[in-house]
Amino acid sequence: MNKKTLQRIRRVLAAIFFLGITLMFLDFTGTLHKFLAWMAKAQFLPAVLALNFIVIAILLIITLLFGRIYCSVICPLGVFQDGVAHVHNWFKKGRYTYSKAHNILRYIMLGIFVVLMIAGVNSLAVLLAPYSAYGRMVQSLLGPIYQWCNNGLAALSEHFHSYTFYTKEVWMRSLPTLIVAAVTFVVLVVLAWRNGRTYCNNICPVGTFLSFFSRFSWFKMHINEEKCIQCGMCTKNCKASCIDGKNGFVDYSRCVTCGNCMAVCPKEAIEYKHVKGNPAPVGANNHSPLPADKKTEETVDTSKRAFLIGSAVALGTAALAQEKKKVDGGLAFIEDKVMLVRKTPIVPAGAGSLQRFRNHCTGCQLCVSQCPNDVLRPSTTLLHLMQPEMSFERGYCRPECTACGDVCPTGAIQKLLKEEKAVTKKGQAFWFAQNCIVVSDGVSCGNCARHCPAEAIEMVPLRGDTTGRKLIPAINESKCIGCGACEYVCPARPLSAIYVEGVEQQRTI
Amino acid sequence: MKDITRRDFLKILGAGTAVTAATMAGCKNDGDLNPTGTLQPQKGQMTYRTNHNTGDKVSLLGFGMMRLPVIEEQAPKGASGREAKAAPIDQEMVNKMVDKAIEYGVNYFDTSPVYCQGRSEKATGIALSRHKRSEYYLATKMSNFAPGTWPRKESIAMFNNSLKELQTDYIDYMLLHSVGGGEDSMKMLQQRYYDNGILDFLLEKREKGVIRNLGFSYHGDVKVFDYLLSRHDEYKWDFVQIEMNYLDWHFAHEIEEANTKAEYLYNELAKRNIPAVIMEPLLGGRLANVPDHIVREMKEREPERSVASWAFRFCGTFPDVLTSLSGMTYMDHLDDNLATHCPLKPLTDEELAFLEDIAKKIYDLKNIPCTACQYCMPCPYGLDIPGIFTHYNKCIKEGNFAKSQEESDYKKMRKAFLVGYDRSVPKLRQADHCIHCGACIHHCPQRIRIPEMMDMVNEYVEKLKQGTL
């Protein structure tokens, strides 16, 4: 085997996974996920949360056979760091040194992660999780750039009367998530630029977990002492800092089988093969503690544009600027709707109970990036930070759409058929008299009833109205599915006169 | 023909050089040679009609000042579709178009205090004041639609403002604007022109010569039309403005029950010897924008004439038509219309029969009969009513209107309809936001039942989105 073969294979596979996952996050047309959703489902942590035993078994078997190749091929965050480190290599080659494993640090991190997950504080736990950290970065940072480029093409395509590209509105779904993504990005770039896989060796819970298995992997990097001239090239080029070339020692718990050492060894002294015995030092002391690179937790204040329903009373209906009627008069101004803070958040259909959803979601933002109706956005509440929830200022949860359930890799949003989704109750609509234009302006409306896909709204006479023309919505709770169509099409602004609250337990009606 | 035009010259040249064409092939597209391949207008050849009341020689093509060009670059940022129309009027272009129109013999200019969001009269005044007042006839209207303008004082102020904006001290053609509208059309007429004595005011102005011709423009309820004509002996209408075109001739009533066939309107006027001024000869451009198979049929007969020319020739064929108004936005609209009218070639009986057949075909397309006149706007709830209808009609015309999922091009058509919908109308201005308040209904000169049509459009969109067509 050529000494560069392993490195080449690894690079090709890594590129395929990395591009596939990145594109899946970026593509908002719902086309690619049909072909690529398996790449998200092959991620370790999502598979654990989805109790996807087949994937878990395959990943463990791969690790037991080949070492932590998962980290350098399948994990997009790992590949991302390799990319950053590789760029640094253009300027400065052979800058790594061997360091002992910081076992205490990484076991503590893994422990914290497991405890937080079990305690249900996913929002903190997932700050450490590799796949969802990558997802957030792509969705929040790269997504807008991609969409702007797309919109440029859409403008071109409109110019040429083609319908190939269409405009996608670029809007910030959640400031805290954007900040978390930006901080993650900066921290990881700095760490990877300086020392390669610092995050993977010390913080990543998946990496630490896999390290228990990779020590015993069948194929390993083996330094042939007869050929080795102790030049130290392997050590200098090991981004995992796990090769002690002077002593012919490799820490298999950190080796991600990237093959870089093989490629640079002048004597072809490094072989990737089966070795008997287990030379991995367990419980080595960490003599040079690395700076603790725990990501900063952002304080979260509720978005300025969010209003509590209680305060809505004071606002009342915005009187739609009823300009003096003139013909040929252009367009009326439309005031933006504000996002309600709902007592119970509305989570995507297929979440089951709110608790179940909380425990399974890693906040990777894949569903948010795929939602074609601009309904999903990451939560801004501290406990559930970055987990998706719905709001209906820009659209509503359309009956025929099952995009979020189709892509969710963790099973937090279970895959539903169109027919199942149409009868899944995820929320409950309420009428808010003060805002209803029938009450405040005396206009007849009924738009909520006209657009309710579940036919749960009927217009009934307003009590005490003698004209018989003032009809208000009567919501049949047993039929309402909480899709938000009524809230979206309600003419009252900035707050709708009919709004949806989530339900703790979703159910079929 | 005394002076040989470039076109004729080219024809002769063309015949002469046909033999050598093969060797000259490289020069065929030379910019100096006939660049358009379409009919060119001939200066001094405009067709005129005589107004027997005043002896005015009126050009058969009248310039409608309702769809003036705007400076699109100065549209509000991010404005799409109709929002761009709020941009300032391109006065320089208006001047240029008016100059050219006058150069080729157009002498009738029709405006109103409410056109172009109230900016048309001023723009018209600026453009025309650069010409001799005797070179053109001015038409404007008493556009007191809003209840606030019903009081006598307000209406008179509107009239005086028209004189000021148009920079003149007399109006050649004055109209009661769009009678026949309103929930109760007779009551509306009463309120706008009788209760406040404005009709008497206008009659008086005619006596004094400040108004040279008095008439009315009519849309909608035929009761009002019949009533005003029944008092012709008293008022002596000098002209009446009606909507007429080859589609409305027979089908106006079929398309929208409340409307009246143009055939009836025209004949009622002809019977009384009242000159007819024609509006909507092109139905807001819809008759210039027809499906490909209709274009083909027209071009097979008249390859050098535009699709729009058929509609103008239809109107011009009727002897009691004084002028056909065209709301020209672009110079090429003017060029094309000048070519049609300089001189106008009337339709033969056979061609009239052909157009009747075309009308039937257009009627069968089941378009929404919106002319994008904007009278319904602004919708208080922010909808872009004409934008929605225009998109709907455009898809029908372009064959992007699927009738069932079984059709082979269903996916392509679905995408074109939905993507195009979002492009031409922002989401919050689309049909699903219509609350059926009905504010628009009585403003629509075409009497479209707008809220019902909104439901129809939205239902269609829902079927496409849900895949249940």
pLDDT digits (tens, 9 = 90+) for B275-298: 999 999 999 888 988 888 888 899
**Are A13 and A134 in a shared domain?**
yes
Lowest-pLDDT choice from A7-21, A263-277, A416-430, B226-240: A263-277
Candidates A327, A375, A398, partner chain B, best to mutate (most B CBs within 10 A): A327
- In chain A, the percentage of residues whose pLDDT exceeds 90 is 48
Q: Are B223 and B186 in contact (CB under 8 A)?
A: yes
| CB-CB neighbors (< 8 A) of B422 in chain A | 166-167
Residue-level pLDDT at B325: 96
Asked if B436 is an interface residue toward chain A (Cβ–Cβ < 8 A), one would say yes
Residue-level pLDDT at B247: 93
Interface of B with A in 101-130 (CB under 8 A): 114-118
To the nearest whole Å, the CA of B326 is away from the closest chain A CA by 17
To the nearest whole Å, the CA of A373 is away from the closest chain B CA by 11
Mean pLDDT of B326-353: 93
Phi-psi region of B229 (alpha: psi -120 to 50; beta: other; left: phi over 0): alpha
B415, part of any domain = yes
B291, part of any domain = yes
B290, part of any domain = yes
Interchain contact, A447 vs B436, CB within 8 Å? yes
To the nearest whole Å, the CA of B305 is away from the closest chain A CA by 25
A453, part of any domain = yes
**Are B83 and B168 in a shared domain?**
yes
Which residue, of B332, B364, B396, is where some domain finishes? Answer: B364
Asked if B455 is an interface residue toward chain A (Cβ–Cβ < 8 A), one would say yes
Q: Is B427's pLDDT higher than 80?
A: yes
| CB-CB neighbors (< 8 A) of A437 in chain B | 435
**Are B53 and B79 in a shared domain?**
yes
Asked if B443 is an interface residue toward chain A (Cβ–Cβ < 8 A), one would say yes
- Token digits of residue B352: 């009239």
A458, part of any domain = yes
Interchain contact, A400 vs B423, CB within 8 Å? no
Interchain contact, A333 vs B382, CB within 8 Å? yes
Residue-level pLDDT at A330: 79
B342, part of any domain = yes
Mean pLDDT of A41-58: 90
Interchain contact, B377 vs A329, CB within 8 Å? yes
List, for residues B165-185, the tens digit of each pLDDT value.
999 999 999 999 999 988 889
Interchain contact, B82 vs A330, CB within 8 Å? yes
Mean pLDDT of A331-354: 89
**Are B342 and B416 in a shared domain?**
no
Mean pLDDT of B1-30: 43
Instruction: Indicate the residue of A323, A395, A446 with minimum beta-carbon distance to B378.
Output: A323
B370, part of any domain = no
CA distance B438 to B343: 45
Burial class (CB in 10 A: 0-12, 13-18, 19+), A324: exposed
Interface of B with A in 133-192 (CB under 8 A): 143, 145-146, 148
Mean pLDDT of A476-483: 90
Q: Is B1's pLDDT higher than 80?
A: no
Mean pLDDT of B209-222: 93
Residue-level pLDDT at A60: 94
Residue-level pLDDT at B27: 40
CA distance B56 to B62: 13
- Token digits of residue A121: 């504080």
CATH number at residue B177: 3.20.20.100
**Are A265 and A306 in a shared domain?**
no
Instruction: Indicate the residue of A400, A446, A447 with minimum beta-carbon distance to B466.
Output: A400
Q: Classify strands A498-508 and A424-431 as parallel, antiparallel or unpaired.
A: antiparallel
Number of domains in chain A: 2
Lowest-pLDDT choice from A12-16, A239-243, A457-461, B11-15: B11-15
Residue-level pLDDT at B85: 60
- In chain B, the percentage of residues whose pLDDT exceeds 70 is 90
List, for residues A91-141, the tens digit of each pLDDT value.
988 889 999 889 999 999 999 999 988 887 877 888 889 999 999 999 999
A interface with B, Cβ–Cβ < 8 A, is 158, 163, 166-167, 320, 322-334, 394-395, 398-400, 437, 443-447, 450-451, 489, 491
**Are A242 and A327 in a shared domain?**
no
| CB-CB neighbors (< 8 A) of B145 in chain A | 325-327
**Are B58 and B1 in a shared domain?**
no
Rounded to 5°, the CA angle A105-A107-A111 comes to 115
Interchain contact, A167 vs B422, CB within 8 Å? yes
CATH number at residue A395: 3.30.70.20
List, for residues A352-370, the tens digit of each pLDDT value.
888 889 888 988 899 999 9
**Are A306 and A268 in a shared domain?**
no
* Integer CA distances (angstroms), B246 to B230, B363, B396, in order: 26, 11, 19
**Are B84 and B23 in a shared domain?**
no
A154, part of any domain = no
**Are B106 and B20 in a shared domain?**
no
Burial class (CB in 10 A: 0-12, 13-18, 19+), A134: buried
| CB-CB neighbors (< 8 A) of A444 in chain B | 436-437
| CB-CB neighbors (< 8 A) of A320 in chain B | 380-382
CA distance B389 to B370: 7
More confident site: B162 or A385: B162
Asked if B368 is an interface residue toward chain A (Cβ–Cβ < 8 A), one would say no
Tell me the average pLDDT of chain A: 85
Residue B61, SS3 per DSSP: strand
Number of domains in chain B: 3
Range of the domain at A393: 300-508
**Are A332 and A269 in a shared domain?**
no
Residue B323, SS3 per DSSP: strand
Q: How many residues does chain B have?
A: 469
DSSP structure string for B113-151: TTHHHHTHHHHHHHHHTTS-GGG-EEEEEE---SGGG-S
More confident site: B365 or B273: B273
B41, part of any domain = no
Tell me the average pLDDT of chain B: 87
Helix count and strand count (H, E) for chain B: 19, 10
**Are A250 and A326 in a shared domain?**
no
Range of the domain at B258: 48-364
Q: Is B69's pLDDT higher than 70?
A: yes
To the nearest whole Å, the CA of A363 is away from the closest chain B CA by 28
More confident site: B20 or B379: B379
**Are A92 and A131 in a shared domain?**
yes
A160, part of any domain = no
Q: Is B391's pLDDT higher than 90?
A: yes
The pLDDT-based confidence of A31 (bands split at 50, 70, 90) is confident
Cα torsion angle, B280, B286, B289, B294, sign: negative
CA distance B144 to B114: 9
**Are B323 and B446 in a shared domain?**
no
**Are A391 and A255 in a shared domain?**
no
**Are B402 and B423 in a shared domain?**
yes
| CB-CB neighbors (< 8 A) of A398 in chain B | 465-466
**Are A266 and A336 in a shared domain?**
no
Residue-level pLDDT at B93: 94
The pLDDT-based confidence of A307 (bands split at 50, 70, 90) is very low
**Are A267 and A310 in a shared domain?**
no
CA distance A312 to A339: 11
Residue-level pLDDT at B318: 96
**Are B360 and B397 in a shared domain?**
no
The pLDDT-based confidence of B84 (bands split at 50, 70, 90) is low
**Are A270 and A348 in a shared domain?**
no
**Are B198 and B298 in a shared domain?**
yes
Q: Is A329's pLDDT higher than 80?
A: no
Q: Are A385 and A180 in contact (CB under 8 A)?
A: yes
Interchain contact, B378 vs A443, CB within 8 Å? no
Residue-level pLDDT at A384: 83
Asked if B417 is an interface residue toward chain A (Cβ–Cβ < 8 A), one would say no
Residue-level pLDDT at A248: 84
Beta bridge partners of A507: A425
Residue-level pLDDT at B71: 87
E strand or H helix that includes residue B277: strand B276-279
**Are B341 and B448 in a shared domain?**
no
A279, part of any domain = no
Interchain contact, B435 vs A437, CB within 8 Å? yes
Residue-level pLDDT at B365: 82
A385, part of any domain = yes
**Are A127 and A224 in a shared domain?**
yes
DSSP structure string for A437-467: HHHHT-----HHHHH-TT--EEEEEPTT-SS
**Are B305 and B230 in a shared domain?**
yes
B42, part of any domain = no
To the nearest whole Å, the CA of B270 is away from the closest chain A CA by 31
Instruction: Indicate the residue of A330, A443, A450 with minimum beta-carbon distance to B378.
Output: A330
Closest CA to B59 of B74, B67, B69, B49: B49
Lowest-pLDDT choice from A185-194, A456-465, B105-114, B447-456: A456-465
Q: Which of A175-184, A295-304, A458-467, B371-380 has the highest mean pLDDT?
A: A175-184
A254, part of any domain = yes
The pLDDT-based confidence of B44 (bands split at 50, 70, 90) is confident
Candidates A162, A324, A326, A337, partner chain B, best to mutate (most B CBs within 10 A): A326
Q: Which residue has the tokens 């089966």?
A: A274
Cα torsion angle, B287, B293, B295, B297, sign: negative
Q: Are B38 and B308 in contact (CB under 8 A)?
A: no
A281, part of any domain = no
